[in-house]
Amino acid sequence: MMRLLRFLACGLSFVLALELHAAGLAVAQADYVIRDFRFSTGETLPELRLHYSTLGKPERDANDVVRNAVLVLHGTTGAGASFLNDAFAGTLFGPGQPLDASRYYIILPDAIGHGQSSKPSDGMRARFPRYTYEDMVRAQYRLLTEALHVDHLRLILGVSMGGMHAWMWAVQFPELMDAVMPIVCMPVQIAGRNRMYRRLIADAIRGDPQWNNGEYTQQPPAMKTVLQISLVFASGARQLQREGPTQDKADRVLDSAVESRAQHADANDWLYAWESSRSYDPSPGLPRIKAALTAVNFADDEVNPPEQGIMEEQIKRVARGRYVLVPLSDRTRGHRSAAVTALWKEYLEELLARSAR
């Protein structure tokens, strides 16, 4: 019963929780502590805590290799538990679904600086090591291999920042996985509007006098602007027009979104999270990728605008790569379209079939 209660606390609806519980499944949560973790900046942390959730059980072959592990990676300022809802887990992890948790061992880590893993707001504030995507992936690898004893992945599925991490996994550990599915991201250095968007967020926080070099006693006022920028840039223009067809309704949508997110947003955590992408660029290693890979983007995603033609060129360098651009429709939500699994579920099923042993 306690496991089920923890399951519900992660954010799953009561109906979904009962469905998985009836199937003999529950979400297990734990922390793994890495001692004296050294960051790419040269900084160290005596104890780096990585929080994670799992569904299902690992299955090993005759050589003791896990064959059913699936790593699911979240986006910037998110957490592994953000996938545990009706819209995502309810359409992918349930009985008979593509990542049926009775067949797959699903691993949902909180990246460094996110969720319940070690982060600036735990107490170190701006003295927390300035982590990068490289640090986050390396810590995830140690979680898998040292804590969970998983040395093979059936699939890596990542959304936004998690998708960028998936590209890095595929380049750095090409023998480790069968399939990779990065969603709403690019396998190149962050530049152009995407870079400017991140700078807007970082500059707004750093430029607020009440941020006080990270030593604030209450959230600096700039966080309201940061949350507004995040909502507008990550949402599709068509979606926002539908939700706010008049001036008053548009204002209410913006205010409501900011109010709901402000309760959980910390300025230092956000600053570190958005700046951690500064050294990201897996493009030189794309020819090393051996896994079957399907990258999915959306026509109305202004974070990764398709008119640049970047993905069409880069996917040619991936031996078993496929690129899907989902067209604009009433169901797409800009960068947030990744949350609508119906838009890309068929491509996941095709990838699993294409990569089956």
**Using one digit for the tens of pLDDT, what is the confidence trace for 139-156?**
999 999 999 999 999 999
Report which DSSP code applies to 60.
Answer: B
Region 83-105: what's the mean pLDDT?
Answer: 95
Same domain, 133 and 240: no
Calpha distance 25→95 (Å, rounded)? 10
Residue 244, in any domain of the structure: yes
Residue 66's DSSP bridge partners are: 60
Residue 5, in any domain of the structure: no
Same domain, 231 and 269: yes
Region 191-203: what's the mean pLDDT?
Answer: 95
Calpha distance 276→282 (Å, rounded)? 15
Which residue shows structure tokens 């040395």? 151
CATH code for the domain in which residue 259 is found: 1.10.1740.110
Share of the chain above pLDDT 90, in %: 90
Residue 198 pLDDT: 96
Same domain, 103 and 68: yes
Among residues 220, 243, 275, the one where a domain terminates is: 275
Same domain, 170 and 303: yes
- Please tell me whether the overall predicted TM-score, pTM, comes out greater than 0.75 for this model: yes
Calpha distance 140→165 (Å, rounded)? 10
Residue 328 pLDDT: 94
Residue 284 pLDDT: 98
Calpha distance 7→26 (Å, rounded)? 7
Same domain, 208 and 347: no
Residue 12, in any domain of the structure: no
Going by their DSSP bridges, the two strands 69-73 and 44-55 should be labelled as unpaired
Residue 217, in any domain of the structure: yes
* Burial letters 53-78, b for 16+ CB under 10 A, else e: bbbbebeeeeeeebbbbbbbbbbbbb
CB atoms within 10 A of CB 22: 9
Same domain, 90 and 222: no
Asked whether residue 225 carries a pLDDT value surpassing 80, the answer given is: yes
Closest CA relative to residue 224, chosen from 262, 189, 182: 262
Same domain, 227 and 320: no
Same domain, 35 and 82: yes
Region 230-242: what's the mean pLDDT?
Answer: 91
Region 212-231: what's the mean pLDDT?
Answer: 96
Among residues 248, 275, 302, the one where a domain terminates is: 275
Among residues 254, 275, 296, the one where a domain terminates is: 275
Same domain, 125 and 183: yes
Which residue shows structure tokens 């699993």? 352
Establish how many alpha carbons lie within 13 A of residue 240's alpha carbon, considering only the half-sphere containing its beta carbon: 22
User: What's the token pair of residue 23?
Assistant: 């199937």
Same domain, 65 and 175: yes
Residue 243, in any domain of the structure: yes
Is 321:289 a contact under the CB 8 Å cutoff?
yes
CB atoms within 10 A of CB 127: 11
Residue 151 pLDDT: 94
Q: What is the pLDDT of residues 203-220, one digit of tens each?
A: 999 999 999 999 999 999
What is the longest distance spanned by two Cα atoms in the chain? Answer: 63
Residue 19 pLDDT: 54
Domain hosting 202: range is 192-275
Same domain, 144 and 293: yes
Q: How many domains does the structure of the chain reveal?
A: 2
Residue 280, in any domain of the structure: no
Same domain, 108 and 78: yes
Closest CA relative to residue 184, chosen from 210, 157, 204: 157
Calpha distance 57→23 (Å, rounded)? 13
Q: What is the pLDDT of residues 102-120, one digit of tens each?
A: 999 999 999 999 999 999 9
Is 164:280 a contact under the CB 8 Å cutoff?
yes
Q: What is the pLDDT of residues 289-345, one digit of tens each?
A: 999 999 999 999 999 999 999 999 999 999 999 999 999 999 999 999 999 999 999
pLDDT band at 25 (very low <50, low <70, confident <90, very high): low
Residue 282, in any domain of the structure: no
Q: Sheet holding 292-298: strands in order across? A: 28-38, 44-55, 105-109, 69-73, 155-159, 179-183, 292-298, 321-326
CA dist list (Å): 138 to 44, 93, 146, 169, 288: 14, 26, 12, 9, 18
Residue 298, in any domain of the structure: yes
Residue 280 pLDDT: 98
CA dist list (Å): 48 to 40, 118, 123, 291, 340: 14, 6, 13, 30, 33
Residue 323: Cβ-neighbour burial (10 angstroms; 0-12, 13-18, 19+): middle
> Angle between the 133-142 and 161-172 helix axes, to the nearest 10 degrees?
70
CATH code for the domain in which residue 170 is found: 3.40.50.1820
Residue 21 pLDDT: 55
